[in-house]
Amino acid sequence: MKIILKNFGLLLVCIFLMANATEAQVSDVNSNAGTSAFPFLKINISARAVSMGGAFTGLADDESALYYNPAGITSIEDNKFIFGYHDYFFDMQTGFLGYVKPVSTTRTIGFYISYLNYGTFTQTDAIGNIEGDFGGGDLLLAFTIAQEKSYTLSYGATAKLMYESIESYSASGFAIDIAAKYNSERGRFGAGIMLQNLGVQLSALGDEKYSLPTTIRTGVSYLPRGMQMVIASDLIVPIDNDVIFAIGADYFNFKPVYLRLGWNSFGDNYKATNSDASLAGLSFGCGFDVNKMQLSYSFSPSADLGDSHRITLTGQL
């Protein structure tokens, strides 16, 4: 127990040191930030993964692999579901509903739907007279297929259709994710890589179409010998922003209760100039096994934008 707590403490220290190092190197905003269509595609899902800082590409061992690494769904042996709700910034909400089904000993398929609700806005004319309210949001429909090449290697791909609307304007798009995942024979080490959101905008809100937020994700996971926890780390390279680093841990010594901790370098983007919000980028969470389901919660302090809460329910159908 002392060794476990010591290593978990060392992980916590490492996270804080990296957070402070990144804060000291904050530079100007990336010139490509805000230039891609359908930015909701970049919103992380799953309370478990988010509480681990979003470091899940190399782990991808549950239903949220549909988003983080579709090759990972080959490790799921029964029909499973995932349902998630996210209380986002400025009264916005997001949700995720997915289903995974093994169709043979080596092939697994999955479906999922996600959405972002912008909330309600007040509509005015050119001189400020209120004319009513309007809303908007994004919707994603996706189909995933994954194939186990060998005991240690699997591949996966996802096809996605996106729809976006605000007031009387709308846009649509198509994208694919392509991924691979490796697991060591003893299951202590995992690695993954994914090309995410490779596609086109089919129609735009205005006259000009934009590129999608294509991202390369790579990650590793490790189950240390003698420790009841898994450690994961991701390197995320988006075309429209700086490189992102994530690290996290899932501590399961107290099953059916799980304790989770993570850090993501993107947290610096939530800070206003001269902000002293030192916790931005950190995330915390827990999980509870209930019968054949698991209920997970994550909390992400997001500096000047406010706090972010997620709840996810996963289980067997």
Tokens of 59: 């782990």
45 SS3 class:
coil
The domain total for the chain is 1
Query: Residue 204 sits in which domain range?
Result: 2-316
CATH number, domain at 183?
2.40.160.60
Report how far residue 115's alpha carbon sits from residue 113's, in angstroms, rounded to the nearest whole number: 7
Binning pLDDT at 50, 70 and 90, where does residue 5 land?
A: very low
pLDDT digits (tens, 9 = 90+) for 165-182: 988 889 999 999 999 999
pLDDT digits (tens, 9 = 90+) for 125-159: 778 788 788 788 999 999 999 999 999 999 999 99
Task: Identify the weakest region by mean pLDDT among 4-18, 103-117, 199-213, 263-277.
Answer: 4-18
Tokens of 60: 């991808």
pLDDT digits (tens, 9 = 90+) for 209-246: 999 999 999 999 999 988 899 999 999 999 988 899 99
Report how far residue 74's alpha carbon sits from residue 148's, in angstroms, rounded to the nearest whole number: 6
Q: How many residues does this entry show for the chain?
A: 317
Q: State the residue for tokens 């690494």.
A: 69
Instruction: For the chain, report the end-to-end CA distance as a whole number of angstroms.
Output: 35
Statement: the pTM of the whole predicted model exceeds 0.75: yes
Q: Is the peptide bond before 102 cis (omega within 30 degrees of 0)?
A: no
